[in-house]
């Protein structure tokens, strides 16, 4: 594998600083990859190659003037449920077709403040509701590894853009696994930070107590670099944490340098339920084999039980849909978005929402409305929130004597398009191993862990709140032990740029 | 589980239409039939929650900062501790906001008549 193919965050930054790669080269390579691959993959809902190149040339001038920041001029893709003033923000929905937000999301502003260039907006399940990116009003995204299969979801566009080598870095959002599961399916790195680690200001709300901005990257150090850029307190989001932002890139680089040594003396908790019924035995075996390699490197594997895992999925779908039914009440055809005029205000609401929302969004609004309605509130919503407490208590207990929990990210590998389209329950079941960390608000990292029938498998590490640095260190150590193929970004000409880089 | 069959079976077209009315959704007959079936199945699966022992367990209405201390995360002061001072600050530009309105009248959103003039 050439050095260019394994270029990581630090290598890219060094190559830019050394002048062996220019931002304009990155922009042109991105546009070329989108041109050749995105007709099939459909990762982007909006991509503006001309804008990107103009911004890149500006970044190169800034660098020539000696004023460049470390990642000045690196293209980045942004999921289309984060608001951007430079691009329409559709959330994959007809109801927001052509919607141009009057403000940028905090995460997007921080990307731009760090000198990164927003290349475009990526496809998603409508309002992030789905696990396959098939529920986009603008057509599905396909998995670059096997275009007959889904990329996962709901951040499937961001995962596919990275996996296809269109961009090195992308932002997604994760409510019940929407960063981690597509990362697993596409063979890239996905990080869902602790709830509150990244501001949700400008992230169009799906389920406010679960939503969190996350990263999709080719390598673990890049996840550290990107998290370091977007994390931190934001007065615009009352749930955004004030905890100090750790040196995430430094932690990942340390793990990459340590390799096997990073696992010495570590304890990894292995929940037996995550390797049992409902999980593809081949996927379970592949992830278990990875855990054994970590054990040989010096980690202690401790089998634990998470009894509440059996109810986590139901609790998640009741809590998430209840919050969604409330959050999506704002789409009423009055202040923004699609309006289908009716005889009365109420009729306008009903007709606009009927015309603007897709089937999965309606299904979830109905489920959530029912779970919150009089007579069912205690039986469903309150009970689900109590189950949520149990999930969090179980995770705390499992992590009391362990550094991280280790599970498969998803119970399967990428499935063919349409495989679960007629069966919402089968689609929901794909989230079984990602919803526990979401319900608890804990950070979780998905890294590539081998393949089954040629398709990528994801390994998930779940940590205690604000333990992102530890997860990145262990994930990068795993990357050093079992390096996965990185997408070709069309930067072969710049191969010499990174010789002697961080790898 | 006892009761789940009745509950699933009871989720019929009328019940879907009643919930859709609460949610301000106008559904086609085909959608109502699909959702009646789907919601019945999802709620049936959710009956597993009924078997979970949650005696004395508080609902987790809050996660995030402070979650490393479950008692604090659930306590009444968890959110208040981080509330900012209620001071006026910059807000979105009115024209930029109204530019996205489906129908406007200068500085106002225009909507169908709500109250008839007498």
> DSSP letters along B50-83, please?
HHS--TTPPP----STTTTSHHHHHSTTTTGGGP
Residue A100 near residue A222, CB atoms below 8 Å: no
Q: How far is CA A266 from CA A295, A406, A408, A470, B6, in A?
A: 9, 12, 19, 11, 50
Start-to-end CA span in chain B (Å) = 58
Q: Is residue A132 among the annotated active site residues?
A: no
Whole-angstrom distance, CA of residue A130 vs CA of residue A441: 19
- The DSSP code for A378 is I
Whole-angstrom distance, CA of residue A383 vs CA of residue A373: 14
Whether residue A297 is predicted with pLDDT greater than 70 in this model: the reply is: yes
- Best of A386, A397, A429, A432 to disrupt the B interface by mutation (most B CBs within 10 Å)? A386
Whether residue B116 is predicted with pLDDT greater than 80 in this model: the reply is: no
Whole-angstrom distance, CA of residue A172 vs CA of residue A78: 7
Q: What angle do CA A363, A124, A191 make, to 5 degrees?
A: 110
Domain definitions of chain B by residue range: 1-51
The residue with greater pLDDT, B53 or A179, is: A179
The residue with greater pLDDT, B11 or A501, is: B11
Residue A218 near residue A487, CB atoms below 8 Å: yes
Q: Give the three-class secondary structure for A353.
A: helix
Q: Is residue A79 among the annotated active site residues?
A: yes
A chain contacts of residue B64, beta-carbon cutoff 8 Å: 194-196, 239, 241, 441, 465
Whole-angstrom distance, CA of residue B96 vs CA of residue A100: 9
User: Tell me, what's the pLDDT at A498?
Assistant: 42
User: Tell me, what's the pLDDT at A336?
Assistant: 95
Q: Which of A71-80, A87-96, A461-470, B58-67 is the least confident region?
A: B58-67
| Proportion of chain A above pLDDT 90, given as a percent | 92
**Phi, psi torsion values for A66, nearest 5 degrees:** 75, 20
CATH number of this structure's domain A4-310+386-483: 3.90.1300.10
Q: Which position among A154, A155, A352, A438 bears the catalytic label?
A: A154
Measure B45 CA to nearest chain A CA, in Å. 7
Inter-chain CB proximity A425 and B96 less than 8 Å: no
ipTM of the complex: 0.89
Inter-chain CB proximity B112 and A380 less than 8 Å: no
**Pairing mode of beta strands A169-174, A212-217:** antiparallel
Helix or strand (DSSP H, E) at A187: none
Residue A475 near residue A447, CB atoms below 8 Å: yes
Q: What angle do CA B24, A380, B2 make, to 5 degrees?
A: 120
- What would the mean pLDDT of A206-229 be, rounded to a whole number? 97
User: Tell me, what's the pLDDT at B115?
Assistant: 78
Inter-chain CB proximity B64 and A441 less than 8 Å: yes
Give the list of residues 6+ apart from residue A53 with CB closer than 8 angstroms, or none.
A24, A27, A28, A31
User: Tell me, what's the pLDDT at B64?
Assistant: 59
Inter-chain CB proximity A425 and B45 less than 8 Å: yes
Return the biggest CA–CA distance within chain A: 70
Q: What is the CA radius of gyration of chain A?
A: 21
Inter-chain CB proximity A311 and B26 less than 8 Å: no
- The DSSP code for A337 is S
Specify the pTM: 0.94
Residue A447 near residue A478, CB atoms below 8 Å: yes
Measure B61 CA to nearest chain A CA, in Å. 7
Give the list of residues 6+ apart from residue B100 with CB closer than 8 angstroms, or none.
A99, A100, A101, A102, A335, A336, A337
Whole-angstrom distance, CA of residue A437 vs CA of residue A184: 16
pLDDT, tens digit (0-9, with 9 covering 90-100), for A376-413:
999 999 999 999 999 999 999 999 999 999 999 999 99
- Best of A312, A331, A389 to disrupt the B interface by mutation (most B CBs within 10 Å)? A389
Measured between CB atoms, which of B31, B42, B112 is closest to A424?
A: B42
**Pairing mode of beta strands A117-122, A44-47:** antiparallel
- What would the mean pLDDT of B54-62 be, rounded to a whole number? 84
User: Tell me, what's the pLDDT at B11?
Assistant: 80
Q: Which of A107-111, A202-206, B68-72 is the least confident region?
A: B68-72
pLDDT, tens digit (0-9, with 9 covering 90-100), for A311-361:
999 999 999 999 999 999 999 999 999 999 999 999 999 999 999 999 999
Q: What angle do CA A441, A447, A451 make, to 5 degrees?
A: 135
- What would the mean pLDDT of A48-76 be, rounded to a whole number? 96
Whether residue B2 is predicted with pLDDT greater than 60 in this model: the reply is: no
Q: Is residue A178 among the annotated active site residues?
A: yes
The neighbour count for residue B106, using CB atoms within 10 Å, is 6
Inter-chain CB proximity B24 and A466 less than 8 Å: no
User: Tell me, what's the pLDDT at B94?
Assistant: 93
- The DSSP code for A231 is B
Inter-chain CB proximity B41 and A425 less than 8 Å: yes
B chain contacts of residue A389, beta-carbon cutoff 8 Å: 54, 57-60, 70, 74
The neighbour count for residue A103, using CB atoms within 10 Å, is 17
Measured between CB atoms, which of A387, A464, A466 is closest to B52?
A: A387
Whether residue A2 is predicted with pLDDT greater than 90 in this model: the reply is: no
Whether residue A67 is predicted with pLDDT greater than 90 in this model: the reply is: yes
A chain contacts of residue B59, beta-carbon cutoff 8 Å: 382, 385-386, 388-389
Residue B26 near residue B54, CB atoms below 8 Å: no
**Phi, psi torsion values for A26, nearest 5 degrees:** -60, -40
Whether residue B6 is predicted with pLDDT greater than 70 in this model: the reply is: no
Start-to-end CA span in chain A (Å) = 12
Whether residue A176 is predicted with pLDDT greater than 80 in this model: the reply is: yes
B chain contacts of residue A379, beta-carbon cutoff 8 Å: 50
User: Tell me, what's the pLDDT at A5?
Assistant: 47
Give the list of residues 6+ apart from residue B41 with CB closer than 8 angstroms, or none.
A424, A425, B8
Task: Write the burial class of residue A123 (CB in 10 Å: 0-12 exposed, 13-18 middle, 19+ buried).
Answer: buried
Whole-angstrom distance, CA of residue A379 vs CA of residue A130: 25
Whole-angstrom distance, CA of residue A44 vs CA of residue A38: 7
Where do runs of H (alpha helix) occur along A233-308?
Answer: 248-258, 281-296
């Amino acid at each position: 594998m050439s050095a260019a193919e394994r270029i990581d965050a630090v290598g890219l930054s060094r190559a830019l600083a050394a002048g062996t790669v220019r931002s304009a080269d990155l922009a042109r390579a991105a546009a070329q990859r989108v041109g050749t691959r995105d007709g099939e993959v459909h990762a982007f809902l909006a991509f503006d190659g001309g804008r990107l190149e103009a911004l890149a040339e500006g970044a190169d001038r800034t660098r020539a003037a000696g004023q460049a920041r470390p990642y000045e001029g690196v293209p980045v893709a942004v999921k289309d449920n984060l608001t951007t003033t430079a691009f329409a923000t559709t959330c994959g929905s007809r109801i927001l077709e052509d919607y141009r937000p009057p403000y940028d999301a905090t995460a997007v502003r921080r990307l731009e403040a760090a000198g990164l260039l927003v290349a475009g907006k990526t496809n998603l399940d409508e309002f992030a509701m789905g696990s396959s990116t098939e529920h986009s009003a603008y057509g599905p995204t396909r998995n670059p590894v096997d275009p007959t299969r889904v990329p996962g979801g709901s951040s499937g566009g961001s995962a596919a853009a990275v996996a296809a080598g269109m961009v090195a870095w992308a932002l997604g959002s994760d409510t019940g696994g929407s960063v981690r599961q597509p990362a697993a399916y596409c063979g890239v790195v996905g990080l869902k930070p602790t709830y509150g680690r990244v501001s949700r200001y400008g992230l169009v709300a799906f389920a406010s107590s679960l939503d969190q901005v996350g990263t999709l990257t080719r390598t673990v150090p890049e996840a550290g670099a990107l998290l370091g850029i977007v994390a931190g307190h934001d007065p615009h989001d009352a749930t955004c944490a004030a905890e100090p932002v750790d040196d995430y890139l430094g932690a990942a680089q340390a793990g990459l340098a340590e390799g096997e040594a990073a696992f010495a003396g570590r304890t990894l908790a292995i929940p037996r339920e995550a390797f049992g019924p409902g999980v593809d035995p081949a996927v379970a075996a592949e992830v278990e084999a990875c855990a054994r390699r970590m054990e040989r490197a010096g980690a202690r594997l401790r089998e634990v039980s998470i009894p509440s895992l059996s109810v986590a999925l139901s609790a998640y779908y009741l809590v998430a849909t209840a919050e969604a039914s409330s959050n999506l009440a704002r789409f009423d055809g009055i202040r923004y978005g699609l309006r289908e005029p009716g005889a009365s205000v109420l009729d306008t609401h009903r007709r606009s929402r009927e015309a603007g929302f897709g089937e999965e969004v309606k299904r979830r609004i109905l489920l959530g409305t029912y779970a919150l309605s009089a007579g069912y509130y205690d039986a469903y919503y309150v009970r689900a929130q109590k189950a949520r407490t149990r999930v969090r208590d179980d995770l705390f207990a499992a992590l009391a004597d362990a550094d991280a929990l280790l599970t498969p990210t998803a119970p399967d590998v990428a499935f063919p398009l349409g495989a679960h389209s007629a069966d919402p329950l089968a689609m929901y079941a794909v989230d079984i191993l990602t919803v526990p960390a979401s319900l608890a608000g804990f950070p979780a990292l998905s890294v590539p862990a081998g393949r089954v029938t040629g398709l990528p498998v994801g390994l998930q590490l779940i940590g205690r709140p604000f333990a992102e640095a530890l997860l990145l260190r262990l994930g990068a150590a795993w990357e050093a032990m079992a390096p996965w193929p990185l997408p070709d970004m069309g930067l072969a000409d710049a191969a010499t740029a990174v010789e002697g880089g961080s790898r | 589980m006892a009761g789940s069959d009745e509950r699933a079976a009871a989720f019929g077209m009328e019940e879907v239409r009643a919930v859709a009315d609460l949610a301000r959704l106008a559904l086609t007959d085909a959608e109502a039939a699909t959702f009646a079936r789907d919601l019945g199945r999802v709620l049936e699966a959710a009956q597993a929650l009924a078997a979970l022992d949650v005696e004395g367990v508080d609902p987790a209405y809050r996660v995030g900062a402070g979650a490393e201390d479950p008692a604090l995360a659930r306590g009444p002061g968890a959110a208040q501790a981080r509330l900012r001072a209620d001071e006026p600050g910059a807000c979105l530009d009115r024209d930029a906001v109204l530019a996205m309105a489906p129908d406007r009248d200068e500085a106002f959103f225009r909507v169908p008549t709500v109250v008839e003039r007498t």
